[in-house]
Amino acid sequence: MPEGVYYVTGFVIALIIALVMTPLVKKLAFKVGAIDKPNARKVHTRIMPRLGGLAIYAAFVAAFLLLYPFLPDGLLNRYDMNLIKGMLIGGTIIVLLGGLDDRFELSAKVKLLGQIAAACVVVFGFDVKINLLNIPFGASMQPIAEWIAIPLTIFWIVGVTNAINLIDGLDGLAAGVSAIAIGTILVMAVLMGFEPVILLSTLLLGGILGFLVFNFHPAKIFMGDSGSLFLGFSLATLSMLGFKQVTIVSFVTPLLIIGVPLSDTFFAIVRRMVQRKPIFAPDKGHLHHCLRELGYSHRKTVLIIYGIAAFFGACAIVQAAVVQSPAANWVTFAVIAILLFVMQIGAELIGLVDKSRRPVLNMLQRLRLKTETDSNTK
């Protein structure tokens, strides 16, 4: 049987399980008191059930366990099974942590310690870590010393896990952005022939899309921290294929895959430093908040961010596709330069850091006026 049949079957199984489980999880959330109440920082105006991440997690794990006995021999032998084991066990820890937070609202310190523990399971328990980097304009695949690889991997997993959590502010936003990132990884895995990553990505994608049916605006349930942390953890682990085992993917590719949550997190840190606020202090200055302030509807705001995430994903695929060509370094440089410029202009236009500070836009305005003045004098 063609391997593609197993991937499609896994996707359908995960999708169906998520469609069935989400309404059940919704009832469970109300029963145990895992609810989200409206406040000044939140967009919704009524009590909403959390714990939606349990449906995504259940769909992913159940689909894998149901499909595993029927997979052809050798399909998973070509890949380091430690990645799968690390995702399942570390992901379970993350979901339990997020579920407890959905119900009891754990402190930031406790959540951080739990995330570090899950990352340590992946790194020390299953020896999954970033040990090779392909740096633009450098020699191909530079090995990394163990003392750097371990903290770098833990930092990457915890950072990406929290980045997804930070963008979970509108109906369907975190789920949709995660689905686009997983879809990007799936396309790259297909192009590179990584069967296990294709399998894991299709299962995750099926679970996310099944949940998104109930989570897109107007949402009937929120994924909660159980969902956003699990998706962030899964993305961090899967996107490490860009650092480990894949010699044709450069250092910047994993950053592009999750460009929206990472850039939003970066601008949030800069914004709070400019405003002299604690870095972890919550605010209403995130990308989705700014777009809403510009007058875009809830649904249009989410769709705009989907478009931005898809653009980042397309750049990642292009970057991966050309990285072995003679012009790879220049393509990488051009992609990074264009994205940084576009991100800065976009941040200034919508006031992502400070609505009164627009250094690049002001510089462009001065250049335009100077050009017009010079033309008139001639």
Q: Give pLDDT tens digits for 260-300.
A: 888 888 888 888 887 777 776 777 777 887 888 888 888 99
- The pLDDT mean for the chain works out to 83
CA 262 to CA 233: how far, in whole Å? 14
CA 228 to CA 169: how far, in whole Å? 11
Q: What average pLDDT does this structure show over 166-192?
A: 88
pLDDT at 40: 59
Task: Tell me the C-alpha to C-alpha distance, in Å, between residue 358 and each of 83, 263, 273, 292.
Answer: 44, 17, 16, 20
CB 79 within 8 A of CB 195: yes
DSSP symbol at 72: P
CA 11 to CA 247: how far, in whole Å? 28
- DSSP character string of 161-198: HHHHHHTTTSTTHHHHHHHHHHHHHHHHHHHHT-HHHH
134 is in an annotated binding site: no
pLDDT, tens digit, 9 for 90 and up, residues 62-108: 999 999 888 887 766 544 677 788 889 999 999 999 999 999 989 88
Which of 216, 211, 228 lies closest to 102, judged by CA?
228
State which H helix or E strand residue 48 sits in.
strand 48-49
In this structure, what token pair is assigned to residue 37?
A: 């109440």
pLDDT, tens digit, 9 for 90 and up, residues 304-348: 999 989 988 888 887 777 665 656 667 777 777 888 888 888 888
CB 114 within 8 A of CB 79: no
Residues in the chain: 378
In this structure, what token pair is assigned to residue 28?
A: 């469970």
In this structure, what token pair is assigned to residue 310?
A: 């898809």
DSSP symbol at 241: G
pLDDT, tens digit, 9 for 90 and up, residues 213-238: 999 988 999 999 999 999 999 998 88
Which of 137, 211, 208 lies closest to 177, judged by CA?
208
CB 352 within 8 A of CB 294: no
Please report where in the chains the tokens 């072995």 appear, as a residue: 324
pLDDT at 115: 95
CA 159 to CA 57: how far, in whole Å? 20
225 is in an annotated binding site: yes
